[in-house]
């Protein structure tokens, strides 16, 4: 390769590798790498592919349960048993940096990538959710990114035909210039349909299927593993891939059809680091070698170099290892779907990843070492200085609220709390005809029916299942206390599932943090992982996979640490599916949990939306999350739901009790422009010795507002108490106002007015 640049310290550094890492490479291969090999190491040892800065930490996650069929880190996504020989595969993954540079394609290909991870496992993708973070909507650049990301997700998901059933969107200045786009997908399969990404069987041919390789997305994984600067964004625009959901839909249908034939020995998508990662990972997993010739790879533009072909992240491509002698089945199925395919190589017993170009060897590297022996760093962690200020914050600096009436209105209008209808109405959330609870309640609920399984399940009486999904992270709380805030993210997810009638069974997480070389930022990460681990352990919801996205910062500093948690639960019976809005006039309103967390000198106001919106301050120790209390609360609520007592359940989170009550009054949507209103008369006057702002807007954990028929109220309260959960009837559903009586004052809001502020806020900002 005479035209390849020679390896200089500058070139090594441009590839994101340190001098020590380069020495390690030389040690592994026993010589100097060539330019192509340097590129391969660069992407394989990027944080995105190797988790070199986080692998040691992630070992702390709980990863086992009797349901785990494929565990975290084994394959592209984990798989959990849901009974009757059925299983689900799910994972969340970030596409933050591409979305910052090109929001539409960045977000679209984020969705495409996670869908591929799921069908690579042999599962049919049946639903998607997402978690998004942007700066303040008053900034036109933020609005451009927000609009682009949402339409990119809509474009890809809608065209592919996957319902986007839930999500969360937060707006905070720390994300200005570095939005977060975390996409989640879930698929369904039978136990006997699990596919593996291993290159098994020496002599088996290796097929490339999907569209031709182009120069788009060159070294995207390496790009994602550096700080985002204006310069890097401009230079790296070519690192953003271009998505084609139509192609992916065909590719998925063809792959599922092919997997059903039994002709597949191994399958792997070409995601981050494209052809490089897929060949070396399949060889590493299979304990084999792989030899490919790049000249056989379909190419979109002439004159592509081996370096470019190997590192391209062109989308919708798959690597398939086929049982020798069954090549014709691949050809038949991919021809049927009019998809390009090419036989590009074969499995060897050398343990080497050998890449040729027109027969000439351009790279020859030990596959297992390349995939598994990336350096592992134990970064320095140091408690951030800003936490001193956080700890010293007291409420003495802040007067109690003199106008709760307008405070609630402002909170409901705050984009982070306001209705996300502007977002989800752009997503097809009903395709596949399984969505039982649409976006707008605590968790999405979908059913799993025969056609959710690849190839349609042939069982006469298919055992339908119901699952619920939620995604949460209050990054302000995480910023102010990474450990408590992270526990609370898990707890909130679990509460949302319980409110929907589901028992949590598994978790996938997306760790979005700043530069790990900064000890204070690394401390956030370390503390956060500790909190997440304890949380997932407490709910028996092991982590089955996930993603780490570091270097999320712009020149002004790092983002708030954002460990996004997505949790999946199982609903036992259709009758248990519960939504958050009040159902009938005359029903009892009951508060489960302590009105205010015990021993919290800030009464739940630390890091609250109330402090941010009304006092413009993001400070104070956030409420402590007691996982024992949360677990008891969840199982108690689920028991009550399963007894048929509960008509609605909505957990308290941002904006506290007042926002939860208001949302319970107005969040049901019957149809276009047709919300349903049911007021409530609430009496909190028995709760004394607490500031009214804390009682109304504090964000203590472990609280859920439920409603029951009047006749069941006493029984419900008694049962909850018997289980050790504080419970009290606080009011009655009815009327067209939300009335709240405190020990010192009484307030009333018109439901219709509150609804309109909440419903239209984001739409107005985007108009």
Binding residues vs another protein (CB under 8 A): 151, 154, 158-161, 244-247, 249-250, 337-338, 424-436, 447, 449-451, 574, 669-674
Question: In terms of Cα–Cα distance, which of 158, 61, 67, 73 is closest to 108?
Answer: 158
Secondary structure (DSSP) of 336-367: HTT--EEEEEEEESS-EEEEEETTEEEEEEEH
Question: In terms of Cα–Cα distance, which of 469, 471, 570, 543 is closest to 81?
Answer: 570
Closest CB to another protein among residues 421, 732:
421
Closest CB to another protein among residues 426, 632:
426
Q: How far is CA 422 from CA 144, 229, 466, in A?
A: 14, 30, 27
CB of 559 to another protein, least distance (A): 28
Assess contact for 55 and 376: CB atoms under 8 A. yes
C-alpha 201/C-alpha 443 separation (Å) is: 44
- Two tokens, residue 372: 């598994």
CB of 347 to another protein, least distance (A): 31
Q: Which of 48, 429, 650, 701 is catalytic?
A: 48
Secondary structure (DSSP) of 2-20: TTSPP--HHHHHHTT--HH
Question: In terms of Cα–Cα distance, which of 141, 150, 148, 156 is closest to 169?
Answer: 150
CB of 428 to another protein, least distance (A): 4
Strands (DSSP E) found in 111-179: 124-134, 164-171
CB of 320 to another protein, least distance (A): 19
C-alpha 699/C-alpha 395 separation (Å) is: 14
Q: Which of 95, 97, 650, 755 is catalytic?
A: 95
Strands (DSSP E) found in 454-525: 465-472, 503-512
Name the one residue in this structure whose structure tokens are 């009011």: 731
Closest CB to another protein among residues 11, 159:
159
C-alpha 247/C-alpha 210 separation (Å) is: 8
CB of 255 to another protein, least distance (A): 14
Q: What is the DSSP letter of 424?
A: H
Assess contact for 681 and 748: CB atoms under 8 A. no
Q: From the CA atom positions of the chain, what is the Rg in Å? A: 26
C-alpha 623/C-alpha 643 separation (Å) is: 31
- Two tokens, residue 22: 């380069």
Closest CB to another protein among residues 346, 452:
452
CB of 259 to another protein, least distance (A): 17
> 325-354 as b/e, with b when 16 or more CB fall inside 10 Å?
ebbebbeebbeebebebbbbbbbbebbbbb
Residue 398: count other Cβ atoms within 10 Å of its Cβ: 19
CB of 680 to another protein, least distance (A): 23
Closest CB to another protein among residues 687, 766:
766
CB of 430 to another protein, least distance (A): 5
Q: What is the DSSP letter of 669?
A: E
> Which residues lie below 8 Å from residue 483, measured CB to CB, with a gap of 6+?
527, 528, 530, 531
Closest CB to another protein among residues 356, 429:
429
> 168-202 as b/e, with b when 16 or more CB fall inside 10 Å?
bbbbbebbbbbbbbbbbbbbbbbeebbbbbbbbbe
Closest CB to another protein among residues 425, 715:
425
Rounded to the nearest 5 percent, the helix, strand and coil shares of the chain are 40, 25, 35
C-alpha 417/C-alpha 422 separation (Å) is: 13
Closest CB to another protein among residues 575, 748:
575
C-alpha 491/C-alpha 32 separation (Å) is: 50
Assess contact for 295 and 357: CB atoms under 8 A. yes
CB of 135 to another protein, least distance (A): 22
CB of 425 to another protein, least distance (A): 5
Q: How far is CA 63 from CA 78, 87, 215, 542, 546, in A?
A: 10, 17, 38, 5, 11
Closest CB to another protein among residues 342, 676:
676
CB of 154 to another protein, least distance (A): 5
48 is catalytic: yes
Assess contact for 62 and 533: CB atoms under 8 A. yes
Q: What is the DSSP letter of 578?
A: -
Closest CB to another protein among residues 2, 673:
673
- Two tokens, residue 240: 């953003």
Closest CB to another protein among residues 430, 617:
430
CB of 161 to another protein, least distance (A): 3
Closest CB to another protein among residues 599, 671:
671
378 is catalytic: no
User: What are the residue numbers of the active site?
Assistant: 48, 95
């Amino acid at each position: 390769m005479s035209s390849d640049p020679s390896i200089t310290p500058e070139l090594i550094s441009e590839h994101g590798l340190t001098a020590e890492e380069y020495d390690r490479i030389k040690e592994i291969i026993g010589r100097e790498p060539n330019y192509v090999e340097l590129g391969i190491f660069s992407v394989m040892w990027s944080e995105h592919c190797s988790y070199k800065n986080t692998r040691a930490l992630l070992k702390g996650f709980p990863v086992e349960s009797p349901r785990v069929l494929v565990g975290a880190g084994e394959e592209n996504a984990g798989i959990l048993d849901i009974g009757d020989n059925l299983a689900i595969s799910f994972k969340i993954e970030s596409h933050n940096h591409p979305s910052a540079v090109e929001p539409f394609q960045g977000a679209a290909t984020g969705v495409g990538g996670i869908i591929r991870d799921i069908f690579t496992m042999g599962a049919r993708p049946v639903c998607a959710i997402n978690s998004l973070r942007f700066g303040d909507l008053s900034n036109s650049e933020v609005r451009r990114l927000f609009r682009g990301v949402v339409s990119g997700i809509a474009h890809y998901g809608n065209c592919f035909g996957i319902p986007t059933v839930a999500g969360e969107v937060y707006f905070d200045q720390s994300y200005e210039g570095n939005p977060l786009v975390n996409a989640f997908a879930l698929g369904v399969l039978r136990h006997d349909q699990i596919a593996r990404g291993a290159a098994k069987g020496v002599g088996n041919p290796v097929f490339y299927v999907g569209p031709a390789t182009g120069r788009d997305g060159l070294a995207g994984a390496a790009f994602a593993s550096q700080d985002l600067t204006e310069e890097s964004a401009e230079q790296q625009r070519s690192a953003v891939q271009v998505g084609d959901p139509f192609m992916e839909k065909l590719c998925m249908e063809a792959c599922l059809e092919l997997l059903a034939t039994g002709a597949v020995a191994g399958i792997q998508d070409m995601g981050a680091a494209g052809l490089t990662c897929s060949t070396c990972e399949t060889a590493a997993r299979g304990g084999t070698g792989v030899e490919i010739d790049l000249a056989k790879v379909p190419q979109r533009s002439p004159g592509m170099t081996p370096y470019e072909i190997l590192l391209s992240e062109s989308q919708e491509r798959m690597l398939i290892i086929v049982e020798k002698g069954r090549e014709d089945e691949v050809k038949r199925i991919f021809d049927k779907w009019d998809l390009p395919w090419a036989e590009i190589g074969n499995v060897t017993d050398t343990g080497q990843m050998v890449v040729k170009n027109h027969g000439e060897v351009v790279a020859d590297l030990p596959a297992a070492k390349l995939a598994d022996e990336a350096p592992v760093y134990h970064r320095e962690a140091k408690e951030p200085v800003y936490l001193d200020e956080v700890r010293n914050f007291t409420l003495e600096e802040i007067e109690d609220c003199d106008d709760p009436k307008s405070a609630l209105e402002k909170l409901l209008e705050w984009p982070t709390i306001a209705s996300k209808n502007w977002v989800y109405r752009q997503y097809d959330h009903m395709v596949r005809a399984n969505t039982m609870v649409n976006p707008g309640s605590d968790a999405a609920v979908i059913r799993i029916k025969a056609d959710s399984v690849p190839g349609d399940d042939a069982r006469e009486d298919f055992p339908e299942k119901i699952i619920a999904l939620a995604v949460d992270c209050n990054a302000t709380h995480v910023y102010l206390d990474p450990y408590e805030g992270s526990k609370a993210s898990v707890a909130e997810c679990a509460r949302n599932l319980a409110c929907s009638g589901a028992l949590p069974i598994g978790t996938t997480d997306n760790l979005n943090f700043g530069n790990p070389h900064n000890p204070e930022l690394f401390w956030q990460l370390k503390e956060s992982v500790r909190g997440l681990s304890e949380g997932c352990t407490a709910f028996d919801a092991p982590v089955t996979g996930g993603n780490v996205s570091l270097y999320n910062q712009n020149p002004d500093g790092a983002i708030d640490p954002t460990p996004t948690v997505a949790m999946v639960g199982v609903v036992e019976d259709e009758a248990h599916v519960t939504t958050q809005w009040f159902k009938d006039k005359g029903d009892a309103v009951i508060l489960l949990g302590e009105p205010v967390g015990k021993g919290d000198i800030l009464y739940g106001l630390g890091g609250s939306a109330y402090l941010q919106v009304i006092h413009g301050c993001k400070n104070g120790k956030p409420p402590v999350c007691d996982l024992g209390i949360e677990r008891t609360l969840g199982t108690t609520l689920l028991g009550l739901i399963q007894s048929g007592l509960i008509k609605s359940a909505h957990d308290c989170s941002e904006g506290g009790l007042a926002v939860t009550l208001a949302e319970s009054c107005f969040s049901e949507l019957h149809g276009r422009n047709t919300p349903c209103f049911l007021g409530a008369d609430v009496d909190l006057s028995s709760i004394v010795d607490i500031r009214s702002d804390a009682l109304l807007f504090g964000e203590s954990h472990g609280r859920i507002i439920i409603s029951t028929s009047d006749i069941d109220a006493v029984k419900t309260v008694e049962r909850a108490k018997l289980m050790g959960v504080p419970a009290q009837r606080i009011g009655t559903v009815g009327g067209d106002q939300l009335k709240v009586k405190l020990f010192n004052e009484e307030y009333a809001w018109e439901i219709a007015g509150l609804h309109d502020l909440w419903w239209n806020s984001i739409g107005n900002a985007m108009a």
